Amino acid sequence: MIESGLTPDKYAFPFALKSCAGLSDLQMGKQIHQHLLCHGCGNDLFVDAALVDMYAKCGCVEDARLVFDKMPVRDLVCWTSMISGYVHNGYDGETLEFFDLMRRSDVKPNRVSLLSVLLACGHLGALRKGEWFHNYVIQTGFDSDILIATAVIDMYAKCGSLDLAQYMFDQTRGKDVVCWSAMIASYGAHGLGRKAVNIFNQMIDAGVKPNAVTFTCLLSACSHSGLLEEGRRHFESINRHYGIMLKLNHYACMVDLLGRAGLLLEAEELILRMPLEPDPSIWGSLLGACRIHGNIALGVRVADRIFQLDPTQSGYYVLLSNIYAAKSRWDEVQKVRELMVGRGVNKKQGFSLIEFNNCVYKFGVGDRSHPQSDKIYSFLEELAAPMRHLGYVPLTDFALHDVEDEMKETALSQHSERLAIAFGLLNTSPNTPIRITKNLRICGDCHNAIKFISKIVNRIIIIRDMNRFHRFEDGSCSCSDYW
């Protein structure tokens, strides 16, 4: 159009921006933004709304907010684009703050905005905020919406309240395949594979046909619980009995299931005979199994394949480092680090979240930014003696540094989940469960230590890491150390 010498108007720009949003083409979106300003189409409601949506969907939430704040008039569309952009780009706290601003501005939330805040609560593990939003859903009459009802179920499960998730699931009428799948996924994430399988069987009995996502949830549940034969049977049935084409997620779950069971070579053979081209996540599942079972030779071979496909993801380098460190092969650990530096790969920083008094607090490893830091560290030191008395021995291999054991122990005791737990124990009343959300996989030493802590303080401690839930109670974990 431009090459033909025609001048775009305020009706053309929104469609062009919508196309950029659909393609996630930020560069073209910025060029069109410059064009519309040059042609005097700024400050038009529909053009500005399209700009907000484009920037948000391209991951530039700050730019979307700049456009939003300059708009003289805002409809619901642009509010919804903004709140959806926040949650889908990982700005969960900002999502909740923006929703409050939306309500104070007398803008009535719609389905998308409510789905966004429920998703944000689940990401943060913010149960109390989630309960408030659930009540708001009921007050605004959205509780009969099946998508909203499913989001509520998912939110409760992600916040560690499986009982509430199950209750809401039982109360939901007209459950569709998405709702059933969410409940299967919830039990799977909590390590209750048998219950996940039972829910799947109930769904079939109810006449609801599973889809590809359902089987991903089911196979993942089998993997977390070590249900090898159940997993094999359902994997074979996906295409044979239900006519669903096998996807990469299904293979990834099956590789994970076989790998966790110690069948590493069978898992590798499954990858090699796949009709689909394996991606890094498929090989990553096998690399994780190599870490669990300490298979260095296969781990190195798998890591080489991963780095050929995607040399930028830090998690795979860390897994390989863990494999070497567990065998005290520090020279190889150092080589992996040098490889990361040479490729410009930065290790993802771990953090843990805990909700208290309607606020979500964030702790990093060795974090001393919290006003109660002195109390937190003193409390952890006080726990050290009774933990050792009960038999706790630090698993210093997880410190991943070739230094003295005493220094390793200090590093381990300052992991983010332990700081968050100490904060929770110091600030909540007895018998209150401690709920933690961690962005990375919980390390083996912390997993071991928290079992002892739960026994000493006589508290239930629930941690959701990037893979699953761990419920610690009276010295044991719900995962039965199968994770």
Q: What would the pLDDT profile of 228-246 be if each residue is shown by its tens digit?
A: 999 999 999 999 999 999 9
Say what the pTM is.
0.87
Query: pLDDT at position 408, please?
Result: 54
**Mean pLDDT across the stretch 359-385?**
94
The pLDDT of residue 328: 84
Query: 249 pLDDT exceeds 60?
Result: yes
d(CA 483, CA 289): 10
The CA distance from 365 to 136, in Å, is 36
Q: Look at residue 363 and give its three-state secondary structure.
A: strand
What are residue 37's phi and psi, to 5 degrees?
-70, -40
pLDDT band at 402 (very low <50, low <70, confident <90, very high): very low
Lowest mean pLDDT among 113-122, 324-333, 352-361, 393-402: 393-402
Mean pLDDT of 379-404: 78
Spatial neighbors of 368 by CB under 8 A, at least 6 apart, are 377
CB 394 within 8 A of CB 412: yes
Q: Is the pLDDT of residue 325 over 90?
A: no
What's the pLDDT score for residue 403? Answer: 42
Per-residue pLDDT at 411 exceeds 70: no
DSSP state letters, 304-353: HHHHHH-TT-HHHHHHHHHHHHHTT-HHHHHHHHHHHHHTTPPPPPPEEE
Question: What average pLDDT does the chain have?
Answer: 92
User: Mean of the pLDDT values across residues 302-327?
Assistant: 91
Report residue 189's pLDDT band, with 50, 70 and 90 as the boundaries: very high
- Residue 203 pLDDT more than 90? yes
The conformation of residue 278, written as its DSSP 8-state character, comes to P
Instruction: State the pLDDT confidence band at 137, using cuts at 50, 70 and 90.
Output: very high
- pLDDT confidence band for 327 (50 / 70 / 90): confident
pLDDT in tens, 21-63: 999 999 999 999 999 998 888 888 899 999 999 999 999 999 9
What average pLDDT does this structure show over 246-273?
95
Instruction: Give the pair of three-digit tokens for residue 436.
Output: 């933690």
Q: Cα–chain-centroid distance for residue 206?
A: 30
- Encoding tokens for residue 403? 């230094």
Q: Is the pLDDT of residue 2 over 60?
A: yes
Provide the phi-psi class of 370: left if phi over 0, else alpha when psi is between -120 and 50, else beta: beta
Average pLDDT (370-395) is: 93
Residue 256 has pLDDT above 90, yes or no: yes
Q: State residue 398's pLDDT score.
A: 58
Joined together, the tokens standing for residue 210 give 């599973």
| Cα–Cα distance, 235 to 221 (Å, whole number) | 12
Kindly list the distances between the CA atom of residue 321 and the CA atoms of 45, 144, 292, 328, 334, in Å, as whole numbers in the listed order: 52, 49, 13, 10, 8
pLDDT of 481 reads 81
